[in-house]
Amino acid sequence: MRRELLGPSFYEISKRYTEEDIDELVKSMLQGSSKKWGKFSMPPQKLTKEEAYTIAKWIIVLKNKSH
């Protein structure tokens, strides 16, 4: 069941994207994101490019985990 929080869970994000989309996720984290998931926007996160890239790769791997 989808619980409505401010933003999507990392698991939900993993289901929508693939390895090909890592640059897009990095951009969302560093520059912020809006209108892709719902009515709330994510502000830019204080991460280095390397940190955002590592997190994006980790998020994508979650698609293989059972929930």
Residues 38 and 57: their CA atoms lie apart, in Å, by 23
User: Should residue 42 be labelled a site residue for ligand HEM when binding is judged by CB under 6 A?
Assistant: yes
Q: Which of 2, 3, 35, 65 binds ligand HEM (CB under 6 A)?
A: 35
* Helix and strand numbers, DSSP H then E, in the chain: 3, 0
- The size of the interface with ligand HEM (CB under 6 A), counted in residues, is 22
Q: Which is nearer to ligand HEM, 18 or 34 (CB)?
A: 34
Measure the N-to-C terminal CA separation of the chain; round to a whole number of Å: 11
Q: Which of 22, 30, 37, 62 binds ligand HEM (CB under 6 A)?
A: 37
